[in-house]
A and B are shown apart, each in its own frame.
Chain A
């Protein structure tokens, strides 16, 4: 499935990657995918917590090229 929106939160500190992701997810339709790239190491656990709290699905959470990539499906 295609990624509807890509958000680059590289270099941003807590809590900005989460705030940017939250704002981005609200702009897409239910079931659509949003990709967030971050460099904040804390964001790995933070995105999992955020997904649990909001009910949005964290489809992918991984690291590549020194960055973290999160794929979120809006609930």
Chain B
């Protein structure tokens, strides 16, 4: 049974929709562990989730004032995610990272890097990129080609498990 299970890897698809710290954390823990479990793992990154995958040093993205304003109001990058509750102007995430360090919990950014090393595929949503004016060069290295809802659905129907986070 074990040999059979190993012969045909299980497939996992995660729709990474949210941009908040706690949900990003959950996505990265599951993606990296799925990679370690040798599951074929694809993360479709869309809407607020895409902000996590913008390069950390990028402060402003977009072409027009609305896109620029949006990116200004939600600082991009895996290290700059706000909490959905108890954010307190960044005090909440700061305490979360303090606690994570104390209890040897990996941060989302580290888990993201490990996921990529373990062969997890991250696919940016083309429509989200267009709407927010995010270009390929704004996104972190190692992401797949931008795709749309049809590709995401196709992957989901073929997967053994699908998560919407």
Contacts and interface: CB of A to CB of B under 8 A. Distances in A.
Contacts, number: 57
B2 interface: yes
Q: Which 3 A-B pairs have the closest CB atoms?
A: A55-B6, A22-B36, A53-B37
A10 to B, nearest CB: 9
Kindly state the interface size class of chain B when it binds its partner.
Answer: 20 to 34
B116 interface: no
11 contacts: A14-B29, A15-B36, A15-B106, A21-B36, A22-B35, A22-B37, A23-B118, A50-B36, A52-B5, A54-B37, A57-B2
Interface of B: 2-3, 5-7, 10, 29, 32-33, 35-39, 103-106, 111, 114, 117-118
Nearest to A9: B104
Nearest to A14: B29
Nearest to A16: B106
A13 B104 contact: yes
Interface residues of A, number: 20
Contacts of B3: 55
A15 B32 CA distance: 8
A50 B114 contact: no
A43 to B, nearest CB: 12
Given A12-B104, A19-B36, 5 more contacts: A13-B104, A22-B36, A49-B37, A55-B7, A57-B2
Contact of A18 (B10, B33, B117): B33
Contacts of B32: 15, 19
B157 to A, nearest CB: 22
B29 A53 contact: no
B7 to A, nearest CB: 8
B104 A16 contact: yes
